[in-house]
Amino acid sequence: MTTGQHPNTRPAAAPDGEEPLPSFTEQMADQLGGVRGMTESSIPVVVFVLCNILFELRPAVIASVAVTLAIAALRLSQRRPIRYAVNGLFGIAVGAWLAWNSGDERDFYLPGILYGIGYGVVLLGSAVVRQPLVGWIWSILAGGGKSEWRRDERMVRTFTWLTVLWGVVWLIKVGVQGALYLAEMGTALGIARLALGYPPYLALLAITFWVVRRMNRTAAPVAAD
C-alpha cells in the first residue's frame, strides 16, 4: 500500500455523502457479538462437555440449559441485545431435549451437525446457480443492501469461489463431527464442536473481507475512468 493507511482498521470512504462502511473489525465484531458474544455462545457447550465428563448426561443437560438461561437473563437485566443468547438458547434447548429423551450424549450435538450440513449444501448450491450466497450476505451486512456486484463479472466470480470455500469448509467441519457421532465418541465430539467452531469461522470472515475489500479497491480506478 502506498498511502500508509490500513483499510481494515478504519471505515471505507463512501461516495455521494453516504455513511462510510464499518471497518473490518467493526463488521466482524457485529457478526460475532464481540468477544462477549463469542464467549457467551461457547459457555453452554463447555459446561455440557465438562459436566458430562465429570458427572453424567442429565446433570450436564440441566447445567448447560441453566447457564444459557442465566446468560439470557443477565443480558436482559443489562438491557443488552439478546439475539445471540436467544440463538444459543434455541440450539442448546433442541440438543438438550434430544439427548435427554434418547439418553445419548451425542444427540446434544446432532442439531448443529444437521444445520451445518444444510448450510454447506445451500452454499454450494447457490454457487452452482450463479447466485453466490456470500455475495448476497455481503450486500446486506456491508453493502447497505446494494447489489451492484451482480453487474460486475469479476465480483460475481469472486463471490462464487468464496461461497464454494465457505461451503467446503462447513461440510468438512460437519464431516469430522459426523464421523465422531457415528463412531459414538461423545466426548471427542464435544471437543471437536468447540475446536471447529469459531476458529474456522473467523478465518473465513477474514479471508472474505480481505478479498472483497481488495477487489473493490482495484476496481475503483477503473470506475473513475
Domain edges within the chain: 23-103, 104-225
Name the pLDDT band for 224 (thresholds 50, 70, 90).
very low
Note the pLDDT tens digit of each residue in 48-99.
888 988 888 899 899 988 988 888 888 888 777 666 666 667 778 888 899 9
- Other Cβ atoms within 10 Å of 141 Cβ, number: 15
pLDDT at 88: 66
| Structure confidence at residue 8 (pLDDT) | 42
Residue 188 has a CB neighbour count (10 Å cut-off) of 15
Single-letter residue type at 167 = G
What is d(CA 224, CA 111) in angstroms, rounded to the nearest whole number?
A: 49
Which amino acid is present at 34? G
How far apart are alpha carbons 13 and 154 in whole angstroms?
A: 21
**pTM for the whole structure:** 0.73
Per the prediction, the chain carries an average pLDDT of 79
Segment 119-174, tens digit of pLDDT: 999 999 999 998 999 988 887 776 666 677 888 888 899 999 999 999 999 999 99
Please choose, from the candidates 63, 93, 75, the residue with its C-alpha nearest in 3D space to the C-alpha of residue 36.
75
In this prediction, residue 137 carries a pLDDT of 83
Q: Residue 76 corresponds to which amino acid?
A: L
Q: What is the DSSP letter of 3?
A: S
What's the whole-number mean pLDDT along residues 1-12? 41
CA distance 51 to 59: 7
